[in-house]
Amino acid sequence: MKLEEEVLDYFRVIHNCCNTIEYTYGKKNSLYIPLFTGSIDHSLSIHMLDKQELTVSSFALARPMVESYLRAMWVKFCLSEDKISEGCEKLHFRIS
């Protein structure tokens, strides 16, 4: 399961740039973006754990990584925004 350094660099760029991209707010984006970035984080963690030869721990993250990615793609491409009753805005802390 060893990846070339180029592939890891690709994931690092995506991970580091996730917080620098501006998105238009919408119910769909408020669900899709956290799911997709969570999948990227799990993927990076799998490769870091594997690099430390913690294979069982890396396998434990495989299922949540795939589930998060598939849910993100389903929200992005299959779910219409009018079917979403609320986005993730209620999960975020309010700034007062």
Q: Has residue 1 got a pLDDT over 70?
A: no
User: What's the pLDDT score for residue 94?
Assistant: 47
- 14 against 42, higher pLDDT: 42
Nearest residue to 65 (alpha-carbon basis) of 6, 4, 11:
11
Mean pLDDT in residue range 75-90: 75
pTM of the model: 0.69
18-77: pLDDT as tens digits: 666 666 777 788 888 888 889 988 988 888 898 888 989 989 999 999 999 999 999 888
